[in-house]
Amino acid sequence: MSRHVSCNDCSLSPICLPLAVAPAQLNELDNIIHRGRPLRRGEHLYRAADTFTAVFAVRSGALKTYVISDEGEEQVTGFYLPGEIVGMDGISTAHHISNAKALETATVCEIPFHRLEELSQKIPSLQHHFFSLMSEEIRADRELHRLLSKKSADDRVASLLLSLSARNQRRGLSATVFRLPMSRYDIANYLGLAVETVSRIFTRFQQQHMLKVNGREVEICDRPALCGQGRLQEEA
Amino acid sequence: MSRHVSCNDCSLSPICLPLAVAPAQLNELDNIIHRGRPLRRGEHLYRAADTFTAVFAVRSGALKTYVISDEGEEQVTGFYLPGEIVGMDGISTAHHISNAKALETATVCEIPFHRLEELSQKIPSLQHHFFSLMSEEIRADRELHRLLSKKSADDRVASLLLSLSARNQRRGLSATVFRLPMSRYDIANYLGLAVETVSRIFTRFQQQHMLKVNGREVEICDRPALCGQGRLQEEA
DNA sequence: CGCCACATTGAAACACTTCAAAGTCGGTGG
DNA sequence: CCACCGACTTTGAAGTGTTTCAATGTGGCG
């Protein structure tokens, strides 16, 4: 995969920023985007307190964002798959407030934020799309809030699986068979559970024939049952 | 309080949208804003599935937002105090995804969204401020996520109190003595706890001389102790 | 005054965590 | 090529914070 795929040629463009931009203007957007070298598993895209200069579109692979609390504990705040935009939480503070780390080999498109703002001044649909993206992120956070409040651990795990499934489907991939890019630890941390709990739930779901799990490979066998377990579709 | 206070004269302007707008341009913003009649306690500002046409700046009183899950359960997703903007979660879907209800008599400024977008095209600082507001909302949601994951109920309650305190202070009011605009039920629901748990924590905090509570009147007596209990400062 | 919604308190139940140990997978070097 | 190491995952048993159930208390308002 070349480092210089243009937005025109990118298979993700229907779900990424270009969505909002008319073909005639796509070059302008294309020109401000930097394609960096791939990140290896474990590498950071940015760290908390880095000055905020850009948002990033995930092109391949997967990332997680996390913060470290004052007590030194990690809190995973999100997972980002191809086509999704990461780094929008830094706009208000001028520096990033979370860390973004590659869960596996990943490539991203870097979109300098002040250039994006300039361009948004000229292209109303781009401004709207970006407002919309952020609004979507807020919506997803609300959904997550609901999930974490409505205690049941089963619901949480089911919801995450369904969310990943939906996001996979959006990229034109299978909604039933896929690979989890993150560890059990990350899942547990994200959902506010103990690793052991997540593990137990995976085995139980399997015993109930809702799921086939083999390490990070997952197959959803009984989607209705999984849905009944807990709702949630998204995460921007 | 007149229904026609202009942004110029509004005491909240330093923490609201006008912040971003030069005096010369303030009239333009001012002109697109509708000041509606006050909402009474329990009245809705908007409901889920209403078409999204505007965001709202709270001028006085307080609101809560909530969603109703498929099982019919309410989930409180946020509290909004004077100077704060509510309704931004509807942008991406063209209709509101939550309900906004007055916790007490409240007045709001309605800001038609497409007009705001138009104006943002002309006033870069307004566009930036609005991006920033949304980013701040995301940041606050992340913090809430951390709070709900890091289980302890004590931490959650302490954090909410500190958040309300900080937001009070931002408006130039007391950071130590204030009135909770929401019921114990709302607090519990928002924090993912049972009402009884919240109640018990309030009494315990009082026994530990961290707090004085009398119904909805609160006085923070030992802020460091409360901080030690759990971090979190915000909520946009 | 008495009703109703809201708030507090106590006791029992339970879901999830914590602690402990064993199992699995992938990679590296002998 | 196989053995071993470390990181991750699974499983079991005991502990605990929070919920649930039930009852009593309180305050505002017709």
In the predicted model, is pLDDT for residue B234 greater than 70?
no
Nearest to B69 among A92, A146, A190 (CB): A146
- pLDDT recorded at residue B232: 46
Strand A99-102 and strand A44-46: pairing?
antiparallel
Integer angstrom CA distances of residue A128 from A131, A174, A228, B25, B115: 5, 30, 35, 22, 12
Of A50, A75, A51, the closest CA to residue A65 belongs to: A75
Whether the CB of B198 is less than 7 Å away from nucleic strand C comes out as: yes
- pLDDT recorded at residue A1: 44
Give the distance between the most distant pair of CA atoms in chain A: 56
In the predicted model, is pLDDT for residue A122 greater than 70?
yes
User: How far, in Å, CA of A9 to CA of B73, rounded?
Assistant: 45
Which residue type is seen at B120? S
- Sheet containing B74-80: order of strands: B44-46, B99-102, B63-68, B74-80
- pLDDT recorded at residue B233: 39
CATH class of the region B7-147: mainly beta
- pLDDT recorded at residue A232: 46
Report yes or no: A80 at the B interface, CB cutoff 8 Å: no
Q: How many Cβ contacts (< 8 angstroms) between chains A and B?
A: 132
- pLDDT recorded at residue A3: 58
Identify whether the C-beta of residue B178 lies closer than 8 Å to the C-beta of residue B64.
no
How many other CB atoms are there within 10 angstroms of residue A10's CB atom? 19
- pLDDT recorded at residue B3: 59
User: How far, in Å, CA of B100 to CA of B108, rounded?
Assistant: 12
- pLDDT recorded at residue B76: 97
Whether the CB of B213 is less than 7 Å away from nucleic strand C comes out as: yes
Q: How confident is the model at residue A150 (pLDDT cuts 50, 70, 90)?
A: confident
- pLDDT recorded at residue B149: 93
In the predicted model, is pLDDT for residue A196 greater than 90?
yes
pLDDT in tens, B70-99: 888 899 999 999 999 999 989 999 999 999
CA dihedral A141, A143, A148, A149 (to 10 degrees): 120
Q: How confident is the model at residue B150 (pLDDT cuts 50, 70, 90)?
A: confident
In the predicted model, is pLDDT for residue B20 greater than 90?
no
In the predicted model, is pLDDT for residue B230 greater than 70?
no
Identify whether the C-beta of residue B96 lies closer than 8 Å to the C-beta of residue B64.
no
Question: Rounded to an integer, what is the distance from CA B184 to the centroid of its chain?
Answer: 17
pLDDT in tens, B23-79: 888 888 999 999 888 999 999 999 998 999 999 999 999 999 999 988 888 999 999
In the predicted model, is pLDDT for residue A18 greater than 90?
no
- pLDDT recorded at residue A27: 87
Average pLDDT over residues A104-126: 93
* Across all strands, nucleotide nearest A201 (CA–C1'): D10
- Sheet containing A63-68: order of strands: A44-46, A99-102, A63-68, A74-80
- pLDDT recorded at residue B72: 85
- pLDDT recorded at residue A233: 38
* Domains of chain A, residue spans: 7-147, 150-230
Which residue type is seen at A72? G
Give chain C positions with protein CB within 7 A.
Answer: 6-11, 15-20, 25-26
Integer angstrom CA distances of residue B3 from B16, B82, B106, B109: 17, 15, 12, 9
CATH number of A150-230: 1.10.10.10
Q: How confident is the model at residue B8 (pLDDT cuts 50, 70, 90)?
A: confident
Identify whether the C-beta of residue A99 lies closer than 8 Å to the C-beta of residue A55.
no
Identify whether the C-beta of residue B102 lies closer than 8 Å to the C-beta of residue B61.
yes
Whether the CB of B212 is less than 7 Å away from nucleic strand C comes out as: no
